[in-house]
Structure 1
Amino acid sequence: MESKLTSSRLMVFDFSPSDWATAMKEMIRVTKPGGWIQITEAISKSRGVDVRVVRNLGSLFSSLDNVEVDCVSCPTGWQDKWGDMALQNLLGFVKATRAGVMPILNITDKEFEDMVSKMAQECKEYKSLGSLPYAFGQKKRA
């Protein structure tokens, strides 16, 4: 079954550089002719993860039509309900990394919780902005 919209988001931590090419081929394969493919990622730095793909999202869409590549900035923890939701999303992600992060930082549960709490306070105090690069394009009609 083919899809009218095939979407991927926040996979930058899961895909190697070669995985991106494979994933894009698969997304194109399962999308109907004339259907749309969308990728949304987060700008981040991480050890052992190729985050450069975020800067090169457009290159993944070279075989598609009507391609748009851009980046949206979002207040994180301030301004309005969207900023509050962005902060909750960020904190949820950070908390989900607890098991992997604690041994690397050599910290306790309490220290981790304090770090997350401080992160939330600093996002509000310093009016943090999150950047979400995205790209979308349309599969060529047969």
Structure 2
Amino acid sequence: MPWWFFRRHSRNTARTATSAQPSSGWQPGEIALPRLQGPRRYLQEQPYLLPKDLGEVNRLDFQHYVLRAILHGNYLAPIQQPRRILDVGCGTGQWAFELAQQFPQAEVIGLDLELVKASASPPPNYRFVQGDILHGLPFDNDSFDFVHQRLLFLAIPQAAWPAAVQELARVTAPGGWIELVESSPAPQDLTPSGPATQEFCRLGGALAALRGLDAEGIVLRSLAHYLEKAGLANVHYHPFDVPLGKWGGRLGSLMAMNLHEAWKAISAPTAARFSRSEQEILQLIEQASQEWNEFQTQLHFAVAYGQKPFTR
């Protein structure tokens, strides 16, 4: 489905949860990236592949605005007037800030491994909670009317995805919605593509696979299945493609800039792991970004959402 065809569409209980503990399939310390590699800062005891630093903060905010433009909004699920909203892997918090402003009557919580961007004036109905989906969410059963999770394919190991979505379902209130937005590092999810693009995807995919992350696009194509296995109903799956490069107009240019910076963000660990110079990897990225216009490459995404039944 081309991106321009895609359009936007709608009580906390007393029970205390025994949080699920999704198995990551990756053991800290086995293949951990250095905490500092060159000028970038990486999390050593997490499978998360991208850095956690100011450069990544800026890219994530930029990516947020690009995705919002592509999706014509911040979500697709048919939510109405949610009382509590959770953003898992909230990153800079920008998505959650905007939902807090859109729904001032709701309590909005952003959860992530770290607070990466301190805001001088966050919305009064927003708060940050430190946590890790791989160790269970620190919330009661049936706590949220809307649970959102976006682009964690480089953070949640492939083996942990079913249990992670089960955990999202646990904290979702009956009648509430879960929405997942994902992409993929697999070569078949950047098509058509040239040799430099395919080579970087091969290297990046191999690096991801070493950390138990999905390198083959399995997560992207399984989002609806994960939601259904977690017991959700009214599940919808929307695949869409985003052009990369000037050939795709303004949004194509913006998404190309975003992917270019994301690839640069893992250039140092990629070079270190595969015994190449970082300059060689950066040159490969530049060649790939030039190919995107030549081949009219598109990047595959998907949005899936589902509703927790009132009776299970």
SS in 1 for 2:310: coil
Change in Cα spacing, 1:85 to 1:3, as seen in structure 2 (3 Å) is: farther
Please report the TM-score for the alignment, with normalisation by the length of structure 2. 0.42
- What per-residue deviation string (whole Å, max 9, x for no partner) do you get for residues 52-102 of structure 1? 232222211111121111210110113211111211221122112123211
Instruction: Name the counterpart of 1:88.
Output: 257
Q: Answer yes or no: is 1:58 the counterpart of 2:58.
A: no
Aligned residues: 142
Q: From 1, 15, 30, give the equivalent of 2:171.
A: 30
SS of structure 1 residue aligned to 2:156: coil
Matching residue's letter, 1:75: P
Amino acid at match of 2:265: A
- Pick 1 or 2: higher relative contact order, CA cutoff 8 A, min separation 6: 1
Per-residue displacement from partner, 1:29-67 (whole Å, max 9, x unpaired)?
A: 222322211112113332323342322222111111211
Moved more, 128-137 or 103-112: 103-112
| 1:3-22 mapped onto 2 (5 Å cutoff) | 3-22=144-163
Contact kept? 1:75, 1:127, Cα under 8 Å: yes
Which segment is superposed worse, 85-94 or 50-59?
50-59
Task: From the two aligned structures, give the one with the greater helix fraction.
Answer: 1
Which one has the largest radius of gyration? 2
**Are residues 18 and 108 of structure 1, via their aligned partners in 2, closer, same or farther at CA, if it must alter by over 3 Å?**
closer
Structure 1 unaligned residues grouped into runs of 5+? none
1:71 maps to: 239
Tell me, which stretches of 5 or more residues in structure 2 are unaligned?
A: 1-11, 13-142, 187-204
The 8 Å contact of residues 268 and 278 in structure 2, kept in 1 or not, is answered as no
- Of 290, 293, 308, 1:121 maps to 290
**Which structure 1 residue ranges, 4+ long, deviate > 6 Å from structure 2?**
none
Give the secondary-structure state (helix, strand or coil) at the position aligned to 2:253.
helix
Q: CA RMSD of the aligned region, Å?
A: 1.9
